[in-house]
A = this chain, B = another copy of it.
Amino acid sequence: MTLTGKMLIGRQPLCGTREAIRAINPATHTPMEPAYAGGERQQVEQACALAWAAFDSYRETTLADRATFLDTIAERIEALGDELIERASAETGLPRPRIQGERARTCGQLRTFARCVRAGEWLDVRVDTAQPERQPMARPDLRQRHIPLGPVAVFGASNFPLAFSVAGGDTASALAAGCPVIVKAHGAHPGTSELVGRAVAQAVNDCGLPEGVFSLLYGSGHEVGITLVSDPRIKAVGFTGSRSGGMALTQAAQARPEPIPVYAEMSSINPVYLFPAALHARGEALAQGFVASLTQGAGQFCTNPGLVIAVQGAALDRFVNRVSELLPRSPAQTMLTAGIFSAYAEGVEALTRHARLVAQGQAAQGPNQGQAHLFLASADAFLGNAHLQAEVFGATSLVVACADEEQVRRVSEHLEGQLTATLHLDEDDLVPARTLLPVLERKAGRLLVNGWPTGVEVCDAMVHGGPFPATSDSRSTSVGTAAILRFLRPVCYQDFPDSLLPTALQHSNPLLLRRLLDGQREA
């Protein structure tokens, strides 16, 4: 497939008119063809008009048809074959096997949402039947279902060129909910975005859906993004990226005449707790597991373990020493973009001013290669210095040595909101772990025991979310089937004749849903 450098306004490929972006292979620092000219206001509005025109019909597609559409997107992405793997790997510096795994995850995610759509639980159908004889007042017939919010703007992420970009989690869950999607492609992988965008547009066409169900935009500055989020036809936003980027979109969304929800996944340092018995019994394994998790994918995961918290003592010293032996064997890795690499270097530099550097990975051998770092600070220092809690996106972590369990608790209460918190514990650690748990529940969206936070399963029970600033809205997850709930709102139908009710609410329950009927869940 020849890349065209064009946006997709519905089914129409269209060349932007503004400054172009161009992918740069971060491993070689070489610009790649073609150029992707940025969209202008009028093209954004055209995409919004198409999305709006598509909304009422797309949202009433049958569950089966919508599920088939999601399955078709997965097939179309798979049909892109090796070209997608090559391009994504070249644009991101991520190795081929990683991209292959991410493609499997992306397509699996689309199929998981297809199953979720078919099951229909997300409609949350509730029926309270009429009680005409009730005193002092008759009760009307009341029926609730959920409908989608409207067209959704999705901003692709740099670190998941497939799983959190054009046809990634936000897009899949919004389409599953019945929302048309307009994607603003991430500037770091425009070619990957075009390939996937064309696959989605083909699926729209294959399934006979209105073209406005999907559009793909490019833009080098903020104009396209802010215009998109400010357009009255856009009703929600999905974003994965930096705290400043997420906050800018949230502010734009709040400043609209009609404010809209923004689901921004932003910043997390993912504390890892090493409890005494576990640290004593298996410090070596913990050190190895930690280094593997820290350096995976050059540390470019929102769930990267950026903070280690433990009570000081010989066992913690041995752990730090062992990590200090392992880390220097860890090769520097190409980061996603020059910008991310320089931000990482700045973050490391800032930490150097506030904490003690105890180990480094191998030095860079080429452009944009990030070197792993381990820092150490006392709990007192951590409690007194907000800089030590700033996310450094990359393979850098900070060990916070606490005087005792009470200080572990104080450090924990001091933390900002997180995506994850991890507890390494043995049987003898259960009491202090249980004491700490309420704090961690308040701080994070996912709690792990004896694992590592990198690696996010796409399933029903996953929560990839958490209190601010991990996300802008802790009431939701951006990974897993519960992500569909972000793009829905309830509507109640009172005393409707059956012929006017949506299928999901009709008396005969044609979709065979397990409704909440007069206070009882149907079997």
Interface residues of A (CB under 8 A from B): 56, 60, 101, 115, 121, 124, 126-128, 136-137, 139-140, 142-144, 147, 149-150, 250, 254, 258-259, 261, 416-417, 430, 433-434, 437-438, 441-442, 444-451, 455, 457, 459-463, 465, 467-469, 472-477, 482, 488-497, 499-500, 514, 516, 519, 521, 523
The reply to whether A455 and B137 form a contact with Cβ atoms under 8 Å apart is yes
The reply to whether B438 and A475 form a contact with Cβ atoms under 8 Å apart is no
Which single member of B459, B474, B495, B499 contacts A489 (CB below 8 Å)? B474
The reply to whether B499 and A477 form a contact with Cβ atoms under 8 Å apart is no
Scoring A259, A446, A491, A516 by chain B CB atoms within 10 A of each residue's CB, the highest score goes to: A491
The reply to whether A258 and B139 form a contact with Cβ atoms under 8 Å apart is no
The reply to whether A491 and B461 form a contact with Cβ atoms under 8 Å apart is no
How long is the Cα–Cα vector from A519 to B477 in the complex, in angstroms?
17
The reply to whether A475 and B261 form a contact with Cβ atoms under 8 Å apart is yes
The reply to whether B492 and A449 form a contact with Cβ atoms under 8 Å apart is no
The reply to whether B126 and A472 form a contact with Cβ atoms under 8 Å apart is no
How long is the Cα–Cα vector from A160 to B496 in the complex, in angstroms?
28
How long is the Cα–Cα vector from A490 to B417 in the complex, in angstroms?
14
Complex contacts, A417 vs chain B, CB 8 Å: 258
The reply to whether A468 and B259 form a contact with Cβ atoms under 8 Å apart is yes
The reply to whether B500 and A449 form a contact with Cβ atoms under 8 Å apart is yes
How long is the Cα–Cα vector from A150 to B417 in the complex, in angstroms?
13
How long is the Cα–Cα vector from A497 to B433 in the complex, in angstroms?
11
Complex contacts, A150 vs chain B, CB 8 Å: 442
Complex contacts, A476 vs chain B, CB 8 Å: 489-490
How long is the Cα–Cα vector from A127 to B480 in the complex, in angstroms?
12
The reply to whether A461 and B128 form a contact with Cβ atoms under 8 Å apart is yes
How long is the Cα–Cα vector from A183 to B430 in the complex, in angstroms?
38
The reply to whether A430 and B499 form a contact with Cβ atoms under 8 Å apart is yes
The reply to whether A495 and B451 form a contact with Cβ atoms under 8 Å apart is yes
The reply to whether A482 and B490 form a contact with Cβ atoms under 8 Å apart is yes
Q: A128-B457, A460-B516, A467-B258 are in contact. Are A448 and B147 (CB under 8 A)?
A: no
The reply to whether A496 and B465 form a contact with Cβ atoms under 8 Å apart is no
Closest-by-CB residue of B relative to A260 is B468
Complex contacts, A126 vs chain B, CB 8 Å: 460-461, 482
The reply to whether B115 and A519 form a contact with Cβ atoms under 8 Å apart is yes
Which single member of B137, B147, B469, B474 contacts A149 (CB below 8 Å)? B474
Q: A149-B474, A492-B445, A521-B121 are in contact. Are A457 and B140 (CB under 8 A)?
A: yes
How long is the Cα–Cα vector from A112 to B492 in the complex, in angstroms?
18
Q: How far is the CB of A146 from chain B (nearest CB, A)?
A: 9
Q: How far is the CB of A63 from chain B (nearest CB, A)?
A: 16
Q: How far is the CB of A241 from chain B (nearest CB, A)?
A: 17
Closest-by-CB residue of B relative to A417 is B258
Which single member of B60, B128, B448, B495 contacts A448 (CB below 8 Å)? B495
Pairs A-B, 5 closest by C-beta atoms: A463-B492, A142-B461, A126-B461, A144-B461, A448-B494
Complex contacts, A489 vs chain B, CB 8 Å: 445, 465, 467, 474-476
- List 5 other contacts, CB 8 Å, given A126-B461, A126-B482: A144-B460, A144-B461, A250-B259, A445-B490, A446-B491
How long is the Cα–Cα vector from A462 to B139 in the complex, in angstroms?
12
Q: How far is the CB of A26 from chain B (nearest CB, A)?
A: 26
How long is the Cα–Cα vector from A494 to B423 in the complex, in angstroms?
10
Closest-by-CB residue of B relative to A416 is B258
Q: A56-B438, A474-B149 are in contact. Are A461 and B127 (CB under 8 A)?
A: yes
The reply to whether B142 and A459 form a contact with Cβ atoms under 8 Å apart is yes
The reply to whether A447 and B492 form a contact with Cβ atoms under 8 Å apart is yes
The reply to whether B128 and A500 form a contact with Cβ atoms under 8 Å apart is no
How long is the Cα–Cα vector from A433 to B448 in the complex, in angstroms?
52
